[in-house]
Structure 1
Amino acid sequence: MSPTDSAAPAPAVLQVRGLTKSFGANTVLRGIDLDVPRGKVVALIGPSGSGKTTILRSLNGLETPDGGSVTVGAQLAGAGPEEPRKGHGVNLTLDFSAPVSRRELASLRDRSAMVFQHYNLFPHMTVLQNVIEGPVQVQKRPRPQAVDEADRLLERVGLLEKRDAYPFELSGGQQQRVGIVRALALKPQLLLFDEPTSALDPELVDDVLAVIKELADEGWTMVIVTHELAFARQTADEVVFMDGGIVVERGPASQVLRQPREERTRQFVRRLLHEL
């Protein structure tokens, strides 16, 4: 989906420069650069341990990088395809070459929302309570407004009748759809997905992927860590292949997944397609 020569490139919602991270002697990220234009989907692929999840956690303030910077371009992007929320009118840049505060990490987290591999729903809360927890307790939005928006989102993914159920009463696919609704309820500028289907039974995968594809079609800006190559090819505007904490190859999904330039990428794609 490359722009024509006459079209201006979409402004970046996310800019990552020189991101580094080590856990003890294990260096996980080795100077990662990443740009995600507004309304685009970037898929991160690569073997286990390549640093994909660490990038997502760094973008959501769950990990603190050792160096580099992250900019969320609030000035250039609204809250997804909807109206921007109050407080999102200026760019936010965190420079990790110096210590960052908890407040700065919280500001970063406020601009993105994570959908986790294993759902991470609060087991003692109903579906509705899970969805409104962030908007009410963290963002201090009025509870009636948060409930109305939660009901609208739950109806959209076919789970309104489950609003008073607890997570243990739901299938894995239903729990993951609640996780997506919980992320959308925060009205983030950036949606982050960490292997959203890897914990699901095969027959439940398609429902979750259909919801994510619909969000992509609506113009949500997303970074998705996935091993679903067919899904990445259909949904992502750009695919980034990582290995050993570096970006080995990036480009349009059709190019990287069908005609990769780098031998390491070709090996990975061939192996994953063979396993499927």
Structure 2
Amino acid sequence: MSPDPITPPPSEAETVLDVTGLAKSFGSTAVLTSVDLTLRAGRVVCLIGPSGSGKTTVLRSLNGLERPDGGVVRAPGAGLDIDFSGPVDDATRNRLRDLSAMVFQQHNLFPHLTVMQNVIEGPMRVQRRPREEVIAEARSLLERVGLDARRDAYPSELSGGQQQRVGIVRALALRPRLLLFDEPTSALDPELVGDVLSVMKDLADEGWTMAVVTHELAFARDVADEVLFLDDGVVLERGAPERIFTAPREERTRRFLERLMRPF
């Protein structure tokens, strides 16, 4: 039976994804050198670090949008054990992609489709689920984020924060095991950030498994189970948020946090 779209899969501590030695280059530029990451069910991992440190590439690799040049990705529950140092066929990458859903920086909604049409497109066309079932679930999800009344609106008629909440609903509608957020508030006006972070916090409280690239350090401190600081394509430091934010061990981490948290 498929998982309930309104509540997450069971929040047990089993491993959803285990990543070792993830590597990726674009031309002669090494973006990821050797990244290790474990995502356990019901846990939130936040990736922080300067722009260009490889955070987004990690998420895109987990979602199958990028093909790493090396590293091993295991998904025990799905029977996946992928070694990217060798050939990986499209069917295997698609199975990896099916485990997660991505929420992007720029919403990426289809401008010619209504809110409802944007949400049901994936479940109907990709997952081939019954239309009536998908619509009923979409309405429940939209109601959760306060947007059911805007289901017939087009993206251009919504604020940036509303569009991003639709993006989150679109991800949830796919019933993923893992939610990936790529700086979901970076394109929003400051007054709209809180609504999106509130939805994300609610999802974390409900036990959704999440990997979040963010510069919202207060969110990472309050919501994450583990924080990874990336710099120059490597995980320079990792640990519980209370330690990372109060007693970082690496000088580079300390300087990064001081710069972002320095008052104007």
State if a TM-score over 0.5 links the two structures.
Answer: yes
Residue of structure 2 equivalent to 1:148 = 136
Q: Which runs of 5+ in 1 are unaligned?
A: 1-8, 75-89
Give SS of 1:16's match. Answer: strand
Give CA deviations for 1:140-179 in whole Å, capped at 9, x if unaligned.
Answer: 1111100000000000000001111110000000000000
Q: Which amino acid aligns with 1:160?
A: D
Q: Which runs of 5+ in 2 are unaligned?
A: 1-11
Whether 1:256 and 2:259 are equivalent positions in the alignment is: no
TM-superposed deviation, 1:108: 1.1
Q: Which amino acid aligns with 1:258?
A: T
Aligned equivalents of 2:75, 2:245: Cα separation in 1: 28
Q: Which amino acid aligns with 1:202?
A: P
Cα distance 1:152–1:32, how it changes in 2: closer, same or farther (>3 A)?
A: same
Residue of structure 1 equivalent to 2:211 = 223
Give SS of 1:181's match. Answer: helix
Aligned equivalents of 1:23, 1:275: Cα separation in 2: 36
Residue of structure 1 equivalent to 2:74 = 71
Give SS of 1:186's match. Answer: coil
Q: Which amino acid aligns with 1:243?
A: D
TM-superposed deviation, 1:97: 1.2
Greater alpha carbon shift after TM alignment, 97-106 vs 59-68: 97-106
* Aligned-CA RMSD value: 1.1
Whether 1:62 and 2:65 are equivalent positions in the alignment is: yes
TM-superposed deviation, 1:13: 1.2
Give SS of 1:62's match. Answer: coil
Residue of structure 2 equivalent to 1:27 = 30
Match of 1:196 among 181, 184, 189: 184
Aligned equivalents of 2:151, 2:76: Cα separation in 1: 34
Residue of structure 1 equivalent to 2:152 = 164
Q: Which amino acid aligns with 1:39?
A: G
Q: Which amino acid aligns with 1:122?
A: F
TM-superposed deviation, 1:184: 0.3
Identity of aligned residues (%): 66
Give CA deviations for 1:170-193 in whole Å, capped at 9, x if unaligned.
Answer: 000000000000000000000000
Residue of structure 1 equivalent to 2:161 = 173
Residue of structure 2 equivalent to 1:187 = 175
Aligned equivalents of 2:43, 2:145: Cα separation in 1: 22
Whether 1:132 and 2:135 are equivalent positions in the alignment is: no
Match of 1:37 among 27, 35, 40: 40
Whether 1:242 and 2:230 are equivalent positions in the alignment is: yes
TM-superposed deviation, 1:132: 0.6
- Normalised by the size of structure 1, how large is the TM-score? 0.90
Q: Which amino acid aligns with 1:69?
A: V
TM-superposed deviation, 1:275: 6.2
